[in-house]
Chains A and B, each alone.
Chain A
Amino acid sequence: MIFGASGDLTARKLVPALYNLALQHLLPASFAVIGSARRAVTEDAFRTELHDAVAEFSRTRPINEEVWATFARSIHYVPTPDDSGFDELSRVLARIDGEIGANGNRLFYLATPPAAYEPIIRAIGAHDLRGATGWSRVVVEKPYGHDLESAMHLTSVIQEVFREDEVFRIDHYLGKETVQNILVLRFANSIFEPIWTRQYVDHVQITAAESIGIEERAGYYDSAGAMRDIVQNHLLQLLALVAMEPPSAFDDRSVRDEKVKVLRALRRIAPEEVGELTVRGQYGPGFIGGERVVGYGQETGVAPSSPTETYVALKCFIDNWRWEGTPFYIRTGKRLPKRSTEIAIRFRLAPHRIFTREASEGVDANELVLRIQPDEGISLTFGAKVPVQGLRIRSVNMDFGYGESFMVDAPDSYETLILDALRGDATLFTRRDEVEQQWAFVDPILAGWHAGRQELATYAAGTWGPEPAETLLARDGRTWRRP
């Protein structure tokens, strides 16, 4: 049951994901998708629209028409322009439920703008859209609130209708193969965990770089900014996965308990510290891939004087036994030179250098890099002798690429997450206390910025961010990686 069925997310992600699940026969034998939105449109027209969307956006192309034909028959549409629409929806749900024998199992997906979450949740409650039997779950998209208070309020509204274990807050980063692989790398191998501590790790860098600008999202983005759009959810989740303690089991409760513990240990940056520990930037005009692009203030729908940040860099610490004193540098930005999300674990230099300066000039500290997108993979750099007479040492790269190693395309994160939600596995979804901890970390920084304690620095599009971001690391004698 998708609310917001005429929106972009449904067309670009949800229905292509469902279709690909159908292709892989991962959907139940009997299954229906009911779309709903305010707009009046016939079921046939709705199916045609989705067909075209899948043809355009599916990761497997061309579209398999035979599979689509039967899949499309399970797609329905009910307009909900007002309250009476929900009565109709309730009847349709009951009818289809009887036809397909779903026993009242229902997954509600809120793919609408966030302002609609609350009325829809209330309508689900008021019109008894939950089945009388079976399970009901709700998937909530980001943004989940715009600060701690609004997030808590949203949770309280949802809990009028759904129990916490029925709420699936989606963070599509967590559905990515490499993100799940962070847990596998750390906890299915014995060689990494012993060195995954302050004794061996010099620092950690987490980067989420985008080369695109704000595209068509000016309305949302200009009110949110990079901190709310990326840091609050995606980057803090990545940080939690990298820094968490080993869970006792790979299930939703154990994994999320450990993540919350780390998020709680994440040292808060007080408003008066934002000048020292944070950087916010906004892109100006520049070049991306050889093309001239405009600055943020010249984007359509953005005021030239908009103070919204498109770049954030933070220096964070985790106050626990494992990470005391080890900085975690995180950054995200739009209009950076390339699209790349990665986590780099930088290890300490060898304690005692036995080789001459000349021999070891090309050597750097070991680095383990988890590439999350694009080109998912893992690489480890280490020093090796260059095959010449005499001794020259150089950093080389041991590289593991998913695409070349397994020869398959990783499933799209929405496929993974929708399937998990259908199965009731919430491991890769964000729990209430996680979201609240994330906002509790972000809110004081935003407050400090709002109070004018950190200037908005500009950077040219196509560069790796503003000057103060370099300074943030240079003060510690470090530099950002080139992703």
Chain B
Amino acid sequence: MDEAFWGARAASIDALERELARLRRAAVAHARERGQALARASVLNLVVYAEREIHARRAARAVADLALRHPSRAIIVLGDRRRDGVLASLQLHCHVPRSDGAQPVLYEQILARVRGDFDERVASVVIPLLVPDLPVFLWWTGTPPSDGRHVDDLVTLADRLIVDSADFARADLTLPEVARLARFRVGITDLNWARLTDWRELIAQFFDVPAWRPFLNGITGIRAGFAVDMDGRDIHPSQALLLLGWLASRLAWRPVERLAPSEAGGVLFKMARSDDAAVMVRLRPRFERGLDAGDVSGVRIQAALGGESAEFVIKRAPDQRHATATAIVGGTVRAERVVPLPALGIRELLGEELTIAGNDHVYEAALATLMALA
């Protein structure tokens, strides 16, 4: 069953490389018969670390879907703490050309299932498999442990670390841990941050309007809602926290205090603007049908300037594929527009993150501000 999903099994790393070379050649020969040229077009190494088979498989499918956009060598490390020894199996995929004229691309996927006490040996499996010259992205599924030799070793190899704070059991504790991994000079990316890209754009666009721009310095309150499931047990505020971290870091707000948790798992912060005026922030969980737990469902920015008040509101439509952005100045709706705001899947988010090879300074600043809040 393993081999059906993960591909042929190889006895050693050398054997695995030989098998890959053989498969590559077979794919090239096959393509030539059909009059096509097949490029071994790798643009990155993607190391996926998973401790659960289901995460590994989900990651494998996402990467396979991305092969045309980000042809890569994917090395999926599946840590299984039960038994000793290393088994590697491999799978080589060749995308069939589609009618839109896309070229067939080769990409390579390796599964390294490491068993037993693997912390100190896992890097020795990954290093020889990396394609030289290409950047290394490390996608850590689940919650990265706060320490562990395998974390240090793998992060050291990577140019960029991808996590998804939506998966973190306790984002308020884990996000600062993630921020500390920057000591390995690795660029850090959070898929949850990528989910906020559209929100950040919409918020920023309010203040591109010359008449409303001054309100940016007069913000008095932020309210953001994030989705929880119906019984409200699992609270995942990390996306909302990142949004707050972003606003605060961009506008140079200082944390003042974290007020007692508000109703039903919400959080209440008091912050100070650069002119020392207070900004009250409330992040509250809401049940929203069709949204994943933790997804931001709406943002309301309140501002006052020279006796005039304003509210800038973005709210997801009930269909969960659109949002309404409304600007209310002096009690009057001055602008309202509906924009598409699809919920992005792992594949789209990952695809976007893989285009960035350097550090995401804006994210790092948002994270740093959050750490100060915690």
Co-complex (A, B): yes
Question: Which positions in A face B, CB cutoff 8 Å?
Answer: 211, 286-292, 337-340, 342, 358, 361-362, 367, 369, 371, 374-375, 379, 381, 386-388, 392, 394-397, 399, 401, 403-404, 407, 462, 481-483
Determine which of B40, B118, B135, B355 lies in contact with A401 in the assembled complex, contact meaning CB atoms within 8 Å: B40
Are the CB atoms of B135 and A286 closer together than 8 Å? no
A395 CA to B133 CA in the complex, in Å?
Answer: 9
A289 CA to B28 CA in the complex, in Å?
Answer: 28
A339 CA to B18 CA in the complex, in Å?
Answer: 13
Contact with A along B341-367 (1 / 0, CB 8 A): 000000000000001111101000000
Q: List 26 contacting pairs A-B, 8 Å CB cutoff, sorted by A.
A: A286-B124, A287-B121, A289-B125, A290-B124, A291-B124, A337-B127, A338-B127, A339-B14, A358-B358, A361-B357, A374-B17, A375-B17, A379-B133, A386-B355, A392-B355, A395-B133, A399-B40, A399-B42, A401-B24, A401-B40, A404-B24, A404-B25, A407-B25, A407-B28, A481-B132, A481-B133
Could you tell me the distance in whole angstroms from the C-beta of A91 to the nearest C-beta in chain B? 46
A364 CA to B135 CA in the complex, in Å?
Answer: 11
How many interface contacts (CB-CB < 8 Å) are there between A and B?
95
A371 CA to B28 CA in the complex, in Å?
Answer: 20
Determine which of A287, A289, A337 lies in contact with B120 in the assembled complex, contact meaning CB atoms within 8 Å: A287
Are the CB atoms of A397 and B124 closer together than 8 Å? no
Q: What A residues does B12 contact at CB under 8 A?
A: 289
Are the CB atoms of A407 and B120 closer together than 8 Å? no
Are the CB atoms of A397 and B355 closer together than 8 Å? no
Are the CB atoms of B114 and A290 closer together than 8 Å? yes
A69 CA to B349 CA in the complex, in Å?
Answer: 62
Determine which of B43, B112, B128 lies in contact with A337 in the assembled complex, contact meaning CB atoms within 8 Å: B128
Q: What A residues does B40 contact at CB under 8 A?
A: 399, 401, 404
Nearest-neighbor residue (CB-CB) of B86 within chain A:
A290
Q: Does B21 contact A (CB under 8 A)?
A: yes
Q: What A residues does B134 contact at CB under 8 A?
A: 397
Are the CB atoms of A362 and B127 closer together than 8 Å? no
Are the CB atoms of B29 and A397 closer together than 8 Å? no
Q: What B residues does A379 contact at CB under 8 A?
A: 132-133
A288 CA to B133 CA in the complex, in Å?
Answer: 21
Are the CB atoms of A404 and B359 closer together than 8 Å? no
Are the CB atoms of B132 and A483 closer together than 8 Å? yes
Are the CB atoms of B86 and A289 closer together than 8 Å? yes
Could you tell me the distance in whole angstroms from the C-beta of A339 to the nearest C-beta in chain B? 8
Q: Does B304 contact A (CB under 8 A)?
A: no
Question: Which positions in B face A, CB cutoff 8 Å?
Answer: 12-14, 17, 21, 24-25, 28-29, 40, 42-43, 86, 112, 114, 118, 120-125, 127-128, 130, 132-135, 355-359, 361
Are the CB atoms of A361 and B359 closer together than 8 Å? yes
Q: What A residues does B114 contact at CB under 8 A?
A: 290
Instruction: Kindly name the residue among B12, B28, B125, B128 whose own CB sees the greatest number of chain A CB atoms within 10 A.
Output: B128
Could you tell me the distance in whole angstroms from the C-beta of B306 to the nearest C-beta in chain A? 35
Are the CB atoms of A287 and B358 closer together than 8 Å? no
Given contact pairs A394-B357, A397-B134, A407-B29, a sample of 7 additional A-B residue pairs in the complex whose CB atoms are under 8 Å apart:
A289-B86, A337-B127, A386-B355, A387-B355, A399-B40, A404-B25, A462-B123
A290 CA to B128 CA in the complex, in Å?
Answer: 11
Are the CB atoms of A392 and B356 closer together than 8 Å? yes
Are the CB atoms of A397 and B43 closer together than 8 Å? yes
Q: What B residues does A403 contact at CB under 8 A?
A: 21, 24-25
Q: What A residues does B361 contact at CB under 8 A?
A: 358
Could you tell me the distance in whole angstroms from the C-beta of B66 to the nearest C-beta in chain A? 13
Could you tell me the distance in whole angstroms from the C-beta of B136 to the nearest C-beta in chain A? 8
Instruction: Kindly name the residue among B17, B86, B132 whose own CB sees the greatest number of chain A CB atoms within 10 A.
Output: B132
Q: What B residues does A388 contact at CB under 8 A?
A: 355
Determine which of A374, A381, A395, A462 lies in contact with B357 in the assembled complex, contact meaning CB atoms within 8 Å: A395
Nearest-neighbor residue (CB-CB) of A381 within chain B:
B133
Are the CB atoms of B127 and A462 closer together than 8 Å? yes
Could you tell me the distance in whole angstroms from the C-beta of A128 to the nearest C-beta in chain B? 47
Q: What B residues does A340 contact at CB under 8 A?
A: 132
Are the CB atoms of B357 and A362 closer together than 8 Å? yes
Could you tell me the distance in whole angstroms from the C-beta of B80 to the nearest C-beta in chain A? 13
Could you tell me the distance in whole angstroms from the C-beta of A371 to the nearest C-beta in chain B? 8
Could you tell me the distance in whole angstroms from the C-beta of B15 to the nearest C-beta in chain A? 10
Nearest-neighbor residue (CB-CB) of A387 within chain B:
B355
